[in-house]
Amino acid sequence: MSTTRSPEATPKTAEEFVRWSQAQPEGERYELVDGFPVRLQAETVSHAERKAAVWLALRNALRQSGADCRAFTDGVCVRVAPDRVREPDALVNCGPYEPGDLTVPNPVVVVEVVSPSSAFTDNGRKLIDYFALPSILHYLIVYAEESRVVHHRRADAAGQIFTAILGRDADLVLDPPGITLPVEAFWDD
């Protein structure tokens, strides 16, 4: 999803950004990048459908596993640095969270569904941002048109990241939180 800097953007910390973004008109969504609010662009129906399919597949797998985790779709954010807050297309948080908060404390899986305008950022800056947060163990990049998922997985405490490219016929193993689901589940057609 493409982004543009907010015209009234002023430097903000993650804490200031959370308060600021909650005061914005309904339907306006932002991320905080290098201390500046960046408005998220409108998306296509097919992008929204793919995000919903990803969220539903994660939610169903978590329910079947009994894991103390919950899947969220966009609107829930992740603080990745003091001046950086990202809003993935879907995420899995494990453990407790505050229902009234904009961010979750323990994201384990984050997902971005690639659009033509977001491919560069999803594969570059967001990869770095997400893995800067120690709780994030899996970053999934969903390529809807190619029916593929790129699975970046934190391999160890030293920060090594392993990458696999999975087609629709593969199984996606996310441990933790201890779930396995077919990649096909991300395509509900």
Ordered by start, the domain boundaries in the chain are: 44-186
Residue 138: which of 151, 119, 123 has the closest Cα? 151
Name the strands in the sheet holding 78-81, side by side, starting at the edge strand that comes first in the sequence.
Answer: 3-5, 36-40, 30-33, 84-86, 78-81
pLDDT of residue 22: 84
Average pLDDT over every residue of 68-90: 95
Predicted confidence (pLDDT) at residue 105 exceeds the cutoff of 80: yes
pLDDT of residue 159: 81
List all residues 6 or more positions away from 11 whose beta carbon is below 8 Å from its beta carbon: 35, 36, 83
Mind listing the pLDDT tens digit for each residue in 24-42? 888 888 999 999 999 988 8
Beta bridge partners of 96: none
Q: 173 pLDDT band (50/70/90 cuts)?
A: very high
Mean pLDDT of the chain: 91
Give me the phi and psi of 63, to 5 degrees please: -65, -40
Grouping H, G, I as helix, E, B as strand and the rest as coil, residue 50 is helix
Buried/exposed code over 154-167 (b: 16+ C-beta within 10 A; e: otherwise): beeeeeeeeeeebe
Kindly indicate whether the domain formed by 44-186 is annotated with CATH number 3.90.1570.10: yes
Quick check: pTM over 0.85? yes
For residues 187 and 189, what is the distance between their CA atoms, to the nearest angstrom?
A: 6
